[in-house]
């Protein structure tokens, strides 16, 4: 028995506008038993509901009715003797009513009391035999040969069939245990005429059943089409609702994104507004600064113009470009008493050197020899170099006398380094601390000359005789008359600046420069190496590199050092000797770099010498140092 029935109801539209609508859900709701709850669904919504008023009985009333109708006796057939027309008509009418009653008992539940409420797929084969064939048309099959008294024993009773064979109840399910209902029973009619009439009457009743079944089939087909349409519409509506919900969520998300984008845009707009305001303020400040700078620039231009005018006046006033003190010939002759030999203190590269006083200052005057080949040009060159550059370790040019070719220098109280190394005038020997300091000072001033701008300056005549010492034994480079400006592009190259004639002193001149005339900054490095060897040995330059090299190989360098100094630091002096030998290499490319190799080592030795001197001063604070106790007046 069915306690809950759900049916679909089509909308009032479509093809129902042109056909008479059939309210199947309403008919089912009206004819459903009171123990069955019926729900009618239209477009996915509940349109009609009928609630059960009582519980379902344990035994189906339909089954009892079917059993009663199946056991109902057939009306008696007329006897063979009654063959009148009135009797036959009376019998046919009674038989037809009997057949109508039995057909009513065989009518399926959906025709008598509406649909069962169960979906087509929920009816199983044992429950229903009403089905449709592949073409969608219900067919009637005969299940029992005893339904009608037919001459063909092989005919089957009518049966509804479909492609699923599982929809609705068939005539076979109306009986008990799929038992055929035999409408005929053995009768006592024996006459052939009555049998024919009974068969014709039964055939007429079968036609009525066929017509009724066709009508039911049509109604069921329409119902199925309407239900299928309703299902499709419900599914479409569900899909549309899903799409609508999805669209709604997407729109909400877009709205949130748009809201966030709007907020971000507002924030960016605020930032841009603040930036624009700051930029405007900065532009105003920049404009003010530009105005101030413009005024300053105008003032500077005016000032520069005034300075340029003043400089032009000064240049015009000094048309001869005299940048040194000019002494007259009378002043020089009065100071030297007409170049008396008692004032002569030495001999320079191009003339004698006199000591005298000019402007109450002791000076050294270099006089040009009349027979000097390049005296005049060398004089002019030295004046130009000494007037253009200044260094603490270069001899200071105080003035000149162009008339007689005299140069006036500051007076160096302790003469030349050569005089001190060979102890001219029985002067005391220089300590190793003083020698290391002098070596560092010479390296410093030589680097200064090599880095002169715009072109490097090469001395070309570096030797102890051109290193002068003041009263504090501070060394200063002199005699720069042979110095030569070298183009910077060839200052450090292998193929150096070519000179037409060599200049310098034998044993100190660069061998490559002497052979090829190629001049470079490393030409002075060779002379520096020879001079360093003389600093530690106190010996002449001839063959000195060979002697020192052999002493280093034999390990007896200490025997070759200047014996006037007894406290040589052997290890540091050995390193100094090796550096001097590298500087005195025959090939120029084998000599070390002055700024990167030589000078750092010289500075290290100078620091060592200063530390040793300070320690000696602390120990002998009451007595003077050997260099400070020198009282003789050596010649320049």
The share of the chain scoring above pLDDT 70, in percent, equals 66
Which option is the CATH number for 325-410: 3.40.50.360, 3.40.50.10490, 3.30.1050.10, 3.30.200.20?
3.30.200.20
Scan for tokens 């209902």, then name that residue.
181
Mean pLDDT confidence for 306-310: 85
- Residue 629: its pLDDT value, please? 42
**Phi, psi dihedral angles at 310 (to 5 degrees):** -65, -40
Helix or strand (DSSP H, E) at 49: strand 45-50
| Structure-token pair, residue 178 | 């799929």
Residue 403, pLDDT above cutoff 90: no
Residue 154, pLDDT above cutoff 90: no
The span from the first CA to the last CA of the chain, in angstroms, equals: 148
- Residue 14: its pLDDT value, please? 47
Residue 579, pLDDT above cutoff 50: yes
Return the sign of the alpha-carbon dihedral for residues 617, 619, 621, 625: negative
Measured CA to CA, the distance from residue 580 to residue 594 in angstroms comes to: 12
Residues counted in the chain:
636
- Residue 309: its pLDDT value, please? 85
Residue 499, pLDDT above cutoff 50: no
Domain ranges for the chain = 4-230, 325-410, 417-619
According to the per-residue pLDDT averaged within each range, which of 90-94, 397-401, 562-566 is highest?
562-566
pLDDT-wise least confident of 332-346, 405-419, 555-569, 612-626: 612-626
Measured CA to CA, the distance from residue 95 to residue 201 in angstroms comes to: 7
pLDDT-wise least confident of 53-67, 452-466, 508-522: 53-67
Does 325-410 match 417-619 in CATH topology?
Answer: no
Rg (CA), the chain: 71
**What tens digit of pLDDT does each residue of 480-498 get?**
755 655 555 444 544 344 4
CB 225 within 8 A of CB 218: no
Residue 90, pLDDT above cutoff 70: no
**Could you check whether the bond before residue 610 is cis, i.e. omega within 30 degrees of 0?**
no
Residue 150, pLDDT above cutoff 80: no
DSSP state of 375: H
Of 167, 461, 510, 562, the catalytic one is 461
Mean pLDDT confidence for 178-186: 41
Q: How far is CA 49 from the centre of its chain?
A: 70
CB 367 within 8 A of CB 350: no
**What tens digit of pLDDT does each residue of 92-122 get?**
566 566 555 544 544 444 444 444 444 443 4
Mean pLDDT confidence for 220-244: 93
Going by pLDDT thresholds of 50, 70 and 90, the confidence category of residue 124 is very low
Measured CA to CA, the distance from residue 183 to residue 149 in angstroms comes to: 9
Q: Which residues of 103-130 are buried (b: 16+ CB within 10 A; e: fewer)?
A: bebbbbbbbebbbbbbeeeebeeeebbb
**What tens digit of pLDDT does each residue of 8-32 get?**
877 655 444 445 556 788 888 888 8
Minimal CA–CA distance to 527: which of 448, 464, 481, 444? 464
Residue 550, pLDDT above cutoff 90: yes
Residue 73, pLDDT above cutoff 60: no
Measured CA to CA, the distance from residue 481 to residue 453 in angstroms comes to: 18
Minimal CA–CA distance to 565: which of 420, 416, 467? 420
Residue 307, pLDDT above cutoff 50: yes
Helix or strand (DSSP H, E) at 6: strand 4-8
Residue 363, pLDDT above cutoff 90: yes
**What tens digit of pLDDT does each residue of 376-396 get?**
666 777 777 777 788 899 998
Going by pLDDT thresholds of 50, 70 and 90, the confidence category of residue 573 is very high
| Structure-token pair, residue 339 | 């170049």
The share of the chain scoring above pLDDT 90, in percent, equals 36
pLDDT-wise least confident of 29-43, 148-162, 400-414, 421-435: 148-162
Mean pLDDT confidence for 550-566: 92
Write 293-298 long-range contacts (CB < 8 A, 24+). none
What's the angle, vertex CA 612, arms to CA 607 and CA 617, rounded to 5? 125
Measured CA to CA, the distance from residue 155 to residue 199 in angstroms comes to: 15
Scan for tokens 């190629």, then name that residue.
518
| Structure-token pair, residue 67 | 């059993």
Going by pLDDT thresholds of 50, 70 and 90, the confidence category of residue 325 is confident
pTM for the full predicted model: 0.48
Mean pLDDT confidence for 410-437: 91
Residue 125, pLDDT above cutoff 50: no
Measured CA to CA, the distance from residue 401 to residue 332 in angstroms comes to: 8
Average pLDDT over the chain reads: 75
pLDDT-wise least confident of 127-131, 509-513, 543-547: 127-131
Which residue has better confidence, 342 or 377?
A: 342
- Residue 81: its pLDDT value, please? 42
Going by pLDDT thresholds of 50, 70 and 90, the confidence category of residue 175 is very low
Residue 176, pLDDT above cutoff 70: no
What topology does CATH give the domain 417-619?
Transferase(Phosphotransferase); domain 1 (1.10.510)
CB 549 within 8 A of CB 581: yes
Distances in Å between the Cα of 11 and the Cα atoms of 226, 236, 240, 461 are 9, 14, 17, 126
Going by pLDDT thresholds of 50, 70 and 90, the confidence category of residue 317 is low
3-state secondary structure of 70: helix
- Residue 245: its pLDDT value, please? 93
Residue 514, pLDDT above cutoff 80: yes
Strands 406-410 and 457-458: unpaired
- Residue 518: its pLDDT value, please? 84
- Residue 359: its pLDDT value, please? 87
Going by pLDDT thresholds of 50, 70 and 90, the confidence category of residue 426 is confident
Measured CA to CA, the distance from residue 406 to residue 453 in angstroms comes to: 28
pLDDT-wise least confident of 289-293, 423-427, 616-620, 624-628: 624-628
Residue 276, pLDDT above cutoff 80: yes
Residue 66, pLDDT above cutoff 90: no
567 is catalytic: no
Q: How far is CA 257 from the centre of its chain?
A: 29
- Residue 244: its pLDDT value, please? 93
């Amino acid at each position: 028995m069915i306690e809950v029935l759900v049916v679909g109801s089509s909308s009032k539209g479509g093809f129902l506008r042109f056909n008479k609508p059939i309210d199947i859900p309403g008919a089912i709701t009206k004819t459903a038993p009171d123990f069955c709850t019926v729900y009618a669904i239209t477009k996915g919504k509940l349109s009609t509901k009928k609630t059960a008023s009582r519980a379902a009985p344990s035994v189906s009333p339909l089954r009892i009715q079917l059993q009663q109708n199946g056991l109902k006796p057939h009306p008696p057939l007329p006897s063979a003797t009654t063959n009148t027309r009135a009797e036959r008509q009376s019998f046919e009418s009674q038989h037809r009513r009997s057949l109508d009653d039995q057909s009513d008992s065989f009518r399926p539940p959906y025709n008598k009391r509406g649909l069962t409420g169960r979906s087509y797929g929920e009816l199983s084969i044992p429950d229903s035999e009403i089905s449709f064939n592949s073409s969608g048309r219900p067919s009637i099959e005969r299940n029992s040969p005893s339904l009608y008294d037919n001459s063909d024993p092989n005919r089957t009773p009518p049966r509804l069939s479909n492609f699923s064979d599982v929809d609705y109840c068939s005539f076979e399910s109306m009986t008990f245990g799929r038992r055929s209902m035999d409408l005929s029973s053995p009768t006592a009619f024996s006459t052939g005429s009555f049998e024919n009439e009974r068969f014709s009457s039964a055939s007429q009743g079968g036609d009525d059943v066929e017509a009724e079944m066709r009508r039911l089939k049509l109604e069921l087909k329409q119902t199925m089409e309407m239900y299928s349409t309703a299902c499709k519409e419900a599914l479409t509506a569900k899909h549309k609702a899903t799409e609508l919900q999805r669209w709604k969520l997407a729109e909400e998300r877009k709205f949130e994104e748009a809201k966030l984008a709007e907020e971000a845009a507002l924030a960016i707009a605020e930032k841009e507004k603040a930036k624009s305001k700051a930029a405007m303020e900065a532009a105003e400040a920049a404009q003010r600064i530009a105005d101030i700078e413009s005024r300053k620039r105008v003032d500077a231009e005016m000032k520069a113009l005034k300075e340029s005018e003043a400089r032009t006046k000064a240049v015009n006033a000094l048309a001869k470009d005299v940048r040194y003190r000019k002494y007259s010939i009378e002043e020089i002759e009065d100071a030297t008493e007409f170049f008396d030999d008692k004032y002569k203190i030495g001999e320079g590269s191009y003339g004698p050197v006199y000591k005298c006083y000019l402007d109450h200052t002791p000076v050294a005057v270099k006089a040009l020899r009349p027979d000097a080949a390049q005296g005049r040009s060398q004089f002019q060159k030295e004046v130009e170099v000494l007037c253009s550059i200044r260094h603490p370790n270069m001899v200071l040019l105080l003035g000149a006398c162009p008339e007689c070719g005299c140069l006036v220098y500051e007076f160096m109280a302790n003469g030349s380094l050569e005089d001190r190394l060979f102890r001219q005038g029985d002067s005391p020997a220089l300590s190793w601390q003083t020698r290391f300091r002098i070596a560092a000072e010479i390296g410093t001033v030589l680097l200064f000359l090599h880095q002169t701008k715009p072109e490097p300056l090469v001395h070309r005549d570096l030797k102890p005789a051109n290193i002068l010492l003041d009263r504090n034994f501070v060394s200063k480079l002199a005699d720069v008359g042979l110095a030569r400006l070298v183009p910077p592009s060839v200052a450090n190259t292998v193929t150096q600046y070519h000179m037409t004639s060599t200049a310098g002193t034998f044993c100190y001149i660069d061998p490559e420069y002497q052979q090829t005339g190629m001049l470079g900054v490393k030409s002075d490095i060779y002379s520096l190496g020879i001079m360093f060897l003389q600093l530690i040995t106190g010996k002449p330059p001839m063959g000195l590199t060979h002697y020192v090299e052999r002493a280093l190989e034999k390990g007896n360098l200490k025997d070759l050092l200047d014996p006037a100094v007894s406290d040589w630091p052997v290890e540091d002096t050995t390193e100094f000797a090796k550096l001097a030998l590298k500087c005195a290499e025959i090939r120029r490319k084998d000599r070390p770099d002055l700024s990167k190799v030589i000078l750092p080592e010289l500075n290290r030795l100078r620091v060592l010498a200063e530390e040793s001197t300070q320690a000696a001063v602390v120990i002998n604070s009451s007595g003077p140092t050997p260099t400070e106790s020198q009282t003789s007046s050596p010649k320049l």
